[in-house]
Amino acid sequence: ADYLAAQNALIAGCAAQGVPIVRILHADGPETADNPFAIASGHVRPLAGLADFTAAASFTKARHSALVGTGLGVWLTQNGIGRLIVSGIRTEQCCETTTRHASDLGWEVDYVPDATLTWDMRQPDGQPLTARDIKARTATVLSGRFARICTVAEALERARA
């Protein structure tokens, strides 16, 4: 499935149901234009083509988990939020890490693989690992123990409950 189509459908569905949508951006390292995670690079922004939405809260993180050093956990607790829908970039890094961390801290997590994005990688032995395989592996290791794996439609249906 196309990442932006799935992510935008999830955003639209959450907005229509009044589900708070939190924006998380990642910025760290030296503040130089050649560091893609520096504000100065111009890359620390919503992805082109992402649906516009009014964020209930926005946080900038400097670690893989959105719950480290951001205040997100406090905000979620103050707002009585017990279940999270995790989506975004990057499937096996920020999304997976935040899912595991949130689960360990007691949140229920709905993880939506179609609304996550990653890229092909090389394994340590040089063998290719496709983005599709990375997404499947991430869903497999998170399923049950850390999260409920959901389609966009399933996550939106559960949000209505």
Q: Note the pLDDT tens digit of each residue in 7-47.
A: 999 999 999 999 999 999 988 888 888 878 878 877 777 88
Q: What is the DSSP letter of 41?
A: G
Tell the burial category of 119 from Cβ atoms under 10 Å away from its Cβ (0-12, 13-18, 19+): exposed
Select the CATH number that applies to the domain covering 3-17+63-160 from these four: 3.40.50.2300, 3.40.50.300, 2.40.50.100, 3.40.50.850: 3.40.50.850
Rounded to 5 degrees, φ, ψ at 150 are -130, 150
3-state secondary structure of 98: helix
pLDDT at 118: 97
Inter-residue contact 104 to 147 (CB < 8 Å): no
Answer yes or no: is pLDDT of 1 > 60: no
Beta bridge partners of 17: none
